[in-house]
């Protein structure tokens, strides 16, 4: 679905490569979580997937990025947008209208979706996410979580194969963040959308994603399922990424030879783990 | 005045008029109040304004708008009345000031015209969704979508920048800058340097906004992409005729 071949990028006035030597393959239907310190190249990575790099930001582009078999250099961001939907951190900045319905219409109208199909697309996606009651609401009256849901709906209504989200929950409280991730999981499972999400809350990533990418200083530091990645707690600590508490607990228990299984990624698994040990 | 231009939801006859009709209605009412040279006519137009507002279910808003405008009008009235020295003196005041009948007539008319001309435009905006207005501009008047998009985005960013500015002011207050000074000049001096961080963060935000619009196909939009259609119906023609009649009547009643 997405393939990075020896990809490096340096911003026009940047001192060093924002990303260097990225080799990566992401398969259809995957749910990839991306984490790393600021300046590690996470946002640059998302820009490379949705074509903002090299089409919007200038700089030195090396290697190849293929999305659905097409080189991103050869297509325009608008063309790519039909296969890659993008959601950003700045909730208010990414909105284009003042009413929810118009927000959804914007993309559908732009890409020339047949007018007789539009109504069904809008009702379907709003129903699926469970916000059909917000349709005629003014966006400025919505909560942050609701706004972000609207933003995701607006992008998903274009039926992309891939959804790229750059810190979608940065401005949200824990509960809304969890809701957004549940929504992403649903889109991933029901519609088969490949999801790439950059996120600072590692607990959410380890619970929801199928694959974790840890970026450090412009390259991929760790890559694997959450269970695999979180086993190396010391490696994570070296680059200053926090380990979720349940994983820290499991690693500490493993050090004392009390537990040897998979690292739990949510509270329920951790509870099972602890119960088994106590028995 | 806060929230004056905000859209008030509704499903009245006025709400259901074509946005273009509403524009025309407001514009013609505005024009009528300028061409009317009779105080009673000017009052009549204000009353028409309130009646139309009542039909749209926003009479409360109309009255509060009227109150605000009359306050501004009072200042204008006081400024104006002493400057007209022709006509018969009806009130003599010290300092060589006096009020004449022409002056009184003129000043009252001026205030009423101002009120009558401002009300329809403001009220029209509160019963018309901005998106409908811009859509109809693109479809019926063939104004390029880029311009209307820029306009609507500018409007949308005002409250965003406002909250951003408040954030910056709060941050500076927390560091001990005394913004609560009573001296307006001093306050201005304190606020002006904050425009730089505001500008920087706005440019950043607008860049993000542009990227997100581009990624949702802003560049590939066609002329007939609009989904909502805005056709004229019977009530539109009735409203148009009524507003033209008002203009004609007010220009003939001297």
State the average pLDDT over residues B41-56.
86
Question: How far is it, in rounded angstroms, from Cα A188 to Cα A182?
Answer: 10
Question: A220 in contact with B at a CB cutoff of 8 Å?
Answer: no
Question: How far is it, in rounded angstroms, from Cα B75 to Cα A8?
Answer: 66
Substitution target in B208, B227, B228, B229 with the highest count of A β-carbons within 10 Å is: B227
Substitution target in A46, A75, A106 with the highest count of B β-carbons within 10 Å is: A106
CB spacing of B220 vs A110 below 8 angstroms: yes
Q: Residue B211 is nearest to which of A52, A111, A158, comparing CB atoms?
A: A52
How sure is the predictor about B5, in pLDDT bands with cuts at 50, 70 and 90?
Answer: low
pLDDT at B228: 82
Fold (topology level) of A2-243: Rossmann fold (3.40.50)
Question: Who wins on pLDDT, A60 or B125?
Answer: A60
- Among residues A250, A200, A273, which one has the least CA distance to residue A33? A200
CB spacing of A98 vs B130 below 8 angstroms: yes
Question: How far is it, in rounded angstroms, from Cα B197 to Cα B187?
Answer: 17
Shortest Cα distance from A270 to chain B (angstroms)?
Answer: 39
Q: Residue B216 is nearest to which of A81, A93, A112, comparing CB atoms?
A: A81
Question: A196 in contact with B at a CB cutoff of 8 Å?
Answer: no
pLDDT in tens, B10-24: 788 788 888 888 888
Question: How far is it, in rounded angstroms, from Cα B22 to Cα B7?
Answer: 14
Domain ranges in chain B are 13-128+232-252, 137-220
* Arithmetic mean of pLDDT over chain A: 89
pLDDT at B89: 75
Question: How far is it, in rounded angstroms, from Cα B25 to Cα B244?
Answer: 8
Question: Residue A98: left (phi > 0), alpha (psi -120 to 50), or beta?
Answer: alpha
Percent residues over pLDDT 70 in chain B: 98
Size of interface A-B (CB pairs under 8 A): 89
Asked which of A107-116, A135-144, A222-231, A243-252 is least confident by mean pLDDT, the reply is A243-252
Substitution target in A47, A50, A72, A92 with the highest count of B β-carbons within 10 Å is: A92
Question: A75 in contact with B at a CB cutoff of 8 Å?
Answer: no
Nearest 10 degrees: Cα torsion A201, A205, A206, A212: -120
Question: In Å, how far from its chain's centre is CA B181?
Answer: 31
pLDDT in tens, B193-217: 888 989 998 888 888 888 889 888 8
CB spacing of B131 vs A92 below 8 angstroms: no
Percent residues over pLDDT 90 in chain A: 46
With a cut of 60, say whether residue A20 has pLDDT above it: yes
CB spacing of B149 vs A96 below 8 angstroms: yes
Task: Name, of A186-190, A261-265, B120-124, B232-236, the range with top average pLDDT.
Answer: A186-190
- Among residues B50, B186, B213, which one has the least CA distance to residue B116? B50
How sure is the predictor about A182, in pLDDT bands with cuts at 50, 70 and 90?
Answer: very high
State the average pLDDT over residues B146-162.
85
Shortest Cα distance from A188 to chain B (angstroms)?
Answer: 20
pLDDT at B4: 60
Burial class (CB in 10 A: 0-12, 13-18, 19+), B55: middle
- Among residues A163, A164, A146, which one has the least CA distance to residue A103? A146
Shortest Cα distance from B206 to chain A (angstroms)?
Answer: 7
With a cut of 50, say whether residue B1 has pLDDT above it: no
CB spacing of B206 vs A93 below 8 angstroms: yes
Q: Residue A106 is nearest to which of B216, B220, B228, comparing CB atoms?
A: B216
CB spacing of B153 vs A158 below 8 angstroms: no
């Amino acid at each position: 679905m997405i393939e990075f071949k020896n990809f490096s990028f340096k911003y026009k006035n940047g001192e060093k490569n924002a990303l260097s030597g990225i080799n990566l393959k992401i398969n259809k239907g995957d749910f990839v979580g991306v984490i790393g310190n600021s300046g590690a190249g996470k946002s640059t990575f998302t820009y490379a997937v949705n074509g903002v790099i090299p089409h919007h930001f200038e700089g030195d582009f090396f290697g190849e990025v293929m999305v659905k078999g097409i080189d991103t250099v050869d297509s325009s961001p608008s063309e790519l947008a039909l296969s890659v939907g993008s959601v950003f951190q700045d909730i208010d900045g990414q909105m284009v209208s003042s009413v929810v319905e118009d927000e959804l219409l914007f993309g559908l109208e732009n890409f020339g979706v047949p007018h007789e199909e539009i109504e069904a697309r809008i009702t379907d996606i709003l129903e699926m996410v469970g916000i059909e009651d917000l349709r005629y609401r003014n966006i400025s009256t919505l909560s942050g979580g609701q706004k972000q849901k609207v933003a995701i709906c607006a992008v998903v209504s274009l039926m992309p194969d891939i959804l790229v989200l750059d810190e979608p929950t940065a401005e949200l409280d824990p509960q809304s963040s969890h809701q957004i991730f549940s929504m992403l999981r649903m889109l991933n499972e029901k519609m088969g959308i490949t999801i790439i999400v950059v996120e600072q809350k590692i607990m959410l990533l380890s619970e929801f994603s199928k694959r974790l990418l840890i970026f450090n200083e412009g390259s991929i530091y760790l890559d694997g399922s959450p269970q695999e990645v979180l086993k190396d707690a010391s490696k994570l600590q070296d680059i200053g990424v926090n380990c979720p508490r349940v994983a820290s607990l499991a690693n500490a228990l493993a050090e004392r030879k009390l537990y040897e299984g998979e690292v739990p990624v949510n509270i329920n698994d951790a509870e099972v783990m602890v119960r088994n040990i106590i028995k | 005045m806060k929230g004056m231009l905000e859209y008030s939801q509704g499903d009245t006859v006025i709400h259901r008029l074509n946005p273009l009709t509403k524009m025309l209605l407001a514009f013609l009412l505005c024009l009528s109040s300028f061409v009317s040279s009779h105080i009673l006519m000017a009052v009549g137009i204000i009353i028409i304004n309130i009646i139309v507002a009542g039909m749209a279910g926003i009479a409360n808003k109309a009255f509060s708008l009227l109150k605000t405008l009359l306050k501004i009008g009072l200042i204008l009235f006081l400024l104006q009345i002493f400057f007209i020295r022709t006509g018969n003196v009806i009130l003599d005041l010290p300092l060589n000031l006096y009020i004449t009948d022409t002056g009184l007539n003129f000043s009252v008319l001026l205030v009423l015209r101002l009120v009558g001309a401002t009300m329809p435009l403001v009220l029209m905006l509160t019963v018309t969704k901005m998106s409908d207005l811009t859509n109809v501009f693109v479809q019926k008047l063939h104004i390029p979508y880029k311009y209307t998009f820029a306009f609507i985005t500018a409007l949308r960013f005002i409250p965003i920048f406002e909250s951003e500015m408040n954030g910056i002011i709060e941050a500076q207050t927390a560091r001990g800058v005394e913004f609560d000074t009573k001296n307006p000049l001093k306050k201005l001096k304190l606020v002006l340097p904050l425009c730089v961080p505001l500008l920087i963060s706005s440019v950043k935000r607008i860049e993000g906004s542009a990227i997100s619009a581009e990624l949702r196909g802003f560049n590939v939009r066609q002329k007939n992409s609009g989904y909502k259609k805005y056709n004229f119906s019977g009530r539109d023609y009735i409203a148009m005729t009524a507003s033209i009649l008002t203009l004609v009547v007010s220009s003939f009643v001297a």
